[in-house]
Amino acid sequence: MRAVDIIGKKRNKEANTEAEIRFLVNGFVNGEVADYQMSAYLMAVCLNGMTEEETEDLTRIMIESGDVIKLDKIPFKKADKHSTGGVADTTTLILAPIVAACGGYVAKLSGKGLGATGGTIDKLESVKNLDTQCDGEKFERLVSELHLCVASQTASLVPADKLMYALRDVTATVDSIPLIASSIMSKKIAAGADVIVLDVKFGNGAFMKTVDEAEALAAAMVKIGKRMGRKTVAILTDMNEPLGTAVGNGLELKEAIDALSCRIDKNSKLMQVSLFIAEQMLILSDVAKTEEEAQNLIDEALKSGTALNKLKSLCEALGGDTACFENTDLLTKTEKQIPVYLNKTGYVESVDALKIGNAACLLGAGRQKKTDSIDYSVGIVLLKQKGDYVKLGEAVATLYVNDEKHIKEAEKLVKEAFALNCTKQEHKSSIYKVINFEKI
């Protein structure tokens, strides 16, 4: 078997066999297949696609390229949630403790954020001294004892994906549905999930810009989950506007604590999406039979404070100083807090998520490459959202700033992000569609 023949088949729009894909991927991981050959194959896939069978084979082979976390000692379904990334998306830190408090088991490995979208690990690590590195034994123990663990992805998990993504990133082959779907699902399955709920976002603040693109990716991932024996549901959500009001790691953790402390309206976009995903996880995990039963469990977990205590216990177990749960201002201490004014009046018609996310990056809340350092305390708090009225002299946002180098640029982006109208715009649900594994 030769790499050049496998590449040629895909170039000619033919399907590769499982053995051919295995030869190529394993050869690339162990250095026998050159990076220029893998790059050629990835470009052929990007241009010509893959069959469902090829996509499943690629996913399985990438899983087998490294360690697999087995949570077999826990005799219950383990649930995971994945978001394709968004601005002010703090859902994991809200819904995961809720599901755990309701009796579900959440086992989640996450990554760090890049660009305008924040990473769950960065948000957690805004807690002083907290370390999200876990070996397999500790990960399983926390899932068993707390019903919850959110930790960093390990280097030994799906190494083929890490190596292939590094090539995709520099060869314009990131935008491929089969490659994205297999990348995401290989990591979810390798981390031991029985139940996978996917939050696939679309809009200017998301990786997938259109509904059609998001739906194609969601369907591909749900099909992989079904073919590989995992209960999988995808939810399409709108990311044309920031989901919550806080953008920045400490600010977003503060918002999660406020949400779990019942200080945020349950009808807000952030809470609607968080609670809906939590319901789906509880139903798929067989903790609740109906949405109504799941909603009742969630209400009790929030009102009793059990959900908040789950997040606090996780932070404690990861070595974090949980004083921030009593005083959330510890998460957001900055040298300056600068209000942003529009100097005009009207109802907020829209808030551009990408511009807000990029403004937060300029302040130091995000990174452009994985080796960049970030400032956990900086970011933006939105004081006005779609449908709110803005008076003259009324701030629409607050910048949390330590380094003043890019303040003017960030302020300009925030101002540009707000579009006003003379009439009030109706709120639309951020939840667009649900793709269920049983319907595919």
Judge whether 277 and 197 are in contact, CB under 8 Å. Answer: yes
Judge whether 156 and 245 are in contact, CB under 8 Å. Answer: no
Q: Beta-carbon neighbour count of residue 342 at 10 Å?
A: 19
Whether residue 272 is predicted with pLDDT greater than 60 in this model: the reply is yes
pLDDT for residue 111? 77
Last residue of a domain, one of 11, 36, 63: 63
Q: Which residue has the higher pLDDT, 157 or 97?
A: 97
- Residue 318 belongs to a domain: yes
Last residue of a domain, one of 25, 40, 63: 63
- Residue 240 belongs to a domain: yes
pLDDT for residue 99? 98
CATH code at position 243 = 3.40.1030.10
> CB within 8 A of 121, min separation 6: which ones?
110, 111, 112, 113, 132, 150, 152
Residue 386 carries which DSSP code?
T
Nearest-CA neighbor of 220 among 1, 396, 437, 415? 437
pLDDT for residue 428? 82
* Tokens describing residue 234: 């995808």
Distance CA 109, CA 166 (A): 19
| Total domains in the fold of the chain | 3
Confidence tier at 85 by pLDDT (50, 70, 90): confident
**Average pLDDT over all residues of the chain:** 93
> What residues are annotated to the active site?
82, 161, 168, 183, 187
39 and 104 assigned to the same domain: no
pLDDT for residue 110? 87
Judge whether 378 and 248 are in contact, CB under 8 Å. Answer: yes
> Which tens digit of pLDDT belongs to each residue from 368-404?
666 678 899 999 999 999 999 999 999 999 999 999 8
> Which tens digit of pLDDT belongs to each residue from 107-121?
999 877 666 666 899
Nearest-CA neighbor of 130 among 143, 106, 149? 149
- Residue 72 belongs to a domain: no
* Tokens describing residue 238: 């709108």
CATH code at position 397 = 3.90.1170.30
Mean pLDDT along residues 270-281: 97
Sign of the dihedral through C-alpha 398, 400, 402, 408? negative
Whether residue 440 is predicted with pLDDT greater than 50 in this model: the reply is no
367 and 388 assigned to the same domain: yes
350 and 309 assigned to the same domain: no
Judge whether 384 and 319 are in contact, CB under 8 Å. Answer: no
317 and 387 assigned to the same domain: no
Lowest-confidence range among 37-41, 85-89, 246-250?
85-89
Backbone angles phi, psi at 320, to 5 degrees: -80, 155
**Which pTM value belongs to this model?**
0.93
140 and 210 assigned to the same domain: yes
> CB within 8 A of 111, min separation 6: which ones?
119, 120, 121, 152, 153
> CB within 8 A of 237, min separation 6: which ones?
86, 199, 200, 201, 202, 243, 273, 430, 431, 432
Domain of residue 21 covers 3-63
> Which tens digit of pLDDT belongs to each residue from 18-67?
999 999 999 999 999 999 999 999 999 999 999 999 999 999 999 999 99
Could you give the angle at which helices 269-284 and 291-303 cross, rounded to 10 degrees?
Answer: 120
Distance CA 433, CA 215 (A): 9
171 and 314 assigned to the same domain: yes
322 and 337 assigned to the same domain: no
Distance CA 197, CA 80 (A): 6
Secondary structure of 129-181 in HEC code, one letter for each residue:
CCCCCCCHHHHHHHHHHHCEEEEECCCCECHHHHHHHHHHHHCCCCCCHHHHH
